[in-house]
Structures are given as structure tokens and as C-alpha cells.
Amino acid sequence: MFKYLIRRVVQAIPTFFGITLFAYLLLWLAPGSVVERLFLAPNINAETRERLAKQLGINDPFHIQYLRWLAGDDWLRWDSDGDGVSDGAFELIAPLDADGDGEPEPPGESYGILRGDFGRSFVRRRPVMEVILTNLPATLELGIAAIVASLVIGIPVGILSAATRGRWFDNLARVMAVIFDAIPNFWLGLMLLLGLGKVMGIVPLGGRCGPSLTGVCPPLFERMEYLILPTFVFAAGFIALFSRYVRTSTLEVMNQDYIRTARAKGLASRSVYFRHAARNAMIPVATLIGPVITNVWAGATVIETVFAWPGVGRVAFTSAIQQDFPVVMGITIFAAVGTILGFLLSDMLYVTIDPRIRLS
């Protein structure tokens, strides 16, 4: 198991760097000028634009900009005595001429994303890491609640559907699974907010908590009414997914010899389904954990926007609208790492659920 884990982590390294390269390439190819977005000056003259572009280093070749974003510029060396030779040990990147006066400049203060420095937000004027970490707890709270709710509801529904195959519960569960899988979650959220929130007044109309003088939300148990509706809307598609896969897997398991033996021994149906069949039927659940974690990052953008939930997804949406690319890139990297860890978790669950599987 340990060797397999190490091998998967090593395999994930080129995947991560591939994602960073592709993401930065998309940013580099994006239309418009970073200078205009950063200084909020669409009518800036050409001379000033050129000078600011040199200071930002956006006129450098793509590979230089990418390496600077990836590893920072504090390790660069420059020609301090003007003899045309770099005084330091690194000569991978040409000396920077930040002010355009023809004189090379000392290394900068950027540490790169590999050391947790994603730059500063164009709009918020704060470090990107600070922006992400400030909003990350809200996203984790909603995402974990949605995953737990989908597992707690979806797995029993799938097993009961298999146990009552062809009866009213099975038919109802399959119909509801198709409905929740087909309905866009943003539309479902808006309709529930309109009906349960505005018309009936049962749930709040959005937000993570009520107004506060300190701006800090109280503990979770004091604001559950704010979490229930976004969690249900977020988990609806996952519940449908888990219930269908678990139902199919349970029906396949029920034809195995050990299930017939358990029934022949006179065990109760509840014990047969939930103790003997359920564990082997969980293999599809382990397979789906990785994609579900990926969809949590993707779906958070929609759900948090609909419910005004102050999380990373909402920040990503507003940053994309405002063309705040450092924040968008930072969230992209966080989502990539979460996706890699999610699929790694799926592989680890195989052995936990089914001891017959050996990862070597």
C-alpha cells in the first residue's frame, strides 16, 4: 500500500505541472492587456503602457513568464558590475530591466506558486493566497456537507431500491434520480429559494449567516437554517448518482454464491443486504469519490453564486467577470490539487472496502 501511494504521488507530479502549464498558456493567450486591467486605465498612452509592461515582465517570452510565475524571481541573478556576465550561479533567465533604462535590475520579491505565492489580486489589492484562505472554510463547509448528505442518503436509497426491485419504492427512487440528475442545480436552487424562501419564508434567502457586527459567522449549529437548502441543492445530483450506481452494484452482488449461502443460513433480509451485500457493492462508490470531489469545486461556483455563499467558488466567478486573473489562476491550482487528491483517495478506498483487492 505504501509503495503504491508513493508511486501515485510521483505520477501526480507531472500531471500537476501539466495543469499549470496549460492554465498559464490559456491566461497568456487571453485577449486584452494586463496593464489596462491592473491599473484600470483603458486609455493609457502607448509609452506608459510599454514602461509598465516592462516592469511587470509581460513582454518577456512565454517560458520566462511561466518560470517566473512557477518558481518566483527572487532567485534570479543579475550583472551588477556591467561586464556582461551574470554574477550569480543561475543564468537560465535573462537579467530583468524593470524600469526600461537599459540597466539590469536585482531579483524581485515573487516566490512563485510552488512556494505558495500566487501574486496579488488586481481588484482586491491583497495576496491571492489570503483571498483564497479567507473564503476556503465556507467552501469546505458546504462541500463536505453535500458529500456527507449524498452518501448518507444515496447509499441506503440504492440498497433499498435493489432490495425492492420492481416495487413502488424502486420505481419512485429511479424516477427521482432521473429528475434530480436532469434538473440544472442553479434552476433548482432558484426555484426553492423562490418557493421556500420568499413565498413561504421557511429558509433564508441566501448567505452563510445573518448580519453580524463583527462580520464573523457564529458556530454551525446556530445557523443550520442557512446550510440546509444549499446543501440539498448541491447534493441532489450526487444523491441521484450514488443511488443508481449502488442499486446496480447491489443487484449484481445479490447473484453471488456467498449471498445465497447467507440466505440459506436463514439470515434476515436486512442483514443480507446491509452487512453482506453492501460492502462489496461499495466499490462504485469508491470509484465515484474522485469525480465527486472534482464536481464539488466546479459546482461550488454555481451554488455559491445562487445562494450568495461567501466561498471560493463565488470569488472565482466574480474574479472571472472582473478579469482578476491572479485569483482565477490561484483557484485553478487549488482545484487541480483537490482533484488529484480526490482520485488518489478513490484508489485508497478500494483496499479499505474490499480486502481482496491488493495494490502493489
Q: Which residue has the higher pLDDT, 166 or 43?
A: 166
Nearest to 17 by CA among 66, 65, 88: 66
Q: What pLDDT does 175 receive?
A: 92
Q: What pLDDT does 153 receive?
A: 92
Q: What pLDDT does 232 receive?
A: 92
Integer-rounded Cα Rg, in Å, for the chain is 26
- Output the nine-digit C-alpha cell for 145: 456537507
- The C-alpha atoms of residue 73 and residue 107 are separated, in whole angstroms, by 6
Residue 40's SS3 state is: coil
Q: What pLDDT does 92 receive?
A: 42
Query: What fold is seen in the domain 128-353?
Result: MetI-like fold (1.10.3720)
- The C-alpha atoms of residue 17 and residue 29 are separated, in whole angstroms, by 18
* CA of residue 95 relative to chain centroid, distance: 37
Q: What pLDDT does 172 receive?
A: 93
- The C-alpha atoms of residue 316 and residue 132 are separated, in whole angstroms, by 9
State yes or no: pLDDT of 294 exceeds 60: yes
Q: Which residue has the higher pLDDT, 216 or 24?
A: 24
Report the amino acid identity of residue 140.
L
**Residue 234 near residue 142 (C-beta atoms within 8 A):** yes
State yes or no: pLDDT of 168 exceeds 80: yes
**Residue 58 near residue 65 (C-beta atoms within 8 A):** yes
Residue linked to cell 467558488: 313
| Helices assigned H by DSSP within the chain | 2-29, 34-39, 46-56, 62-71, 128-163, 168-182, 185-192, 224-253, 257-264, 269-271, 278-281, 283-306, 312-321, 325-353
DSSP at 309: -
State yes or no: pLDDT of 230 exceeds 80: yes
- Phi and psi for 355 in degrees, rounded to 5? -65, -15
Nearest to 306 by CA among 182, 197, 211: 197
State yes or no: pLDDT of 269 exceeds 60: yes
- Output the nine-digit C-alpha cell for 54: 516592462
Q: Which residue has the higher pLDDT, 238 or 105?
A: 238
149-158 burial, b if ≥16 CB within 10 A, otherwise e?
A: bbbebbbbbb
Considering the entire predicted model, what is its pTM?
0.78
Nearest to 92 by CA among 112, 113, 111, 72: 72
Q: What pLDDT does 87 receive?
A: 47
Q: What pLDDT does 324 receive?
A: 82
| Segment 62-103, tens digit of pLDDT | 887 888 888 887 766 544 444 544 444 344 444 455 455 555
Q: What pLDDT does 350 receive?
A: 72
| Segment 121-139, tens digit of pLDDT | 877 888 889 999 988 889 9
- The residue ranges of every structural domain in the chain are 32-115, 128-353
Q: What pLDDT does 211 receive?
A: 77
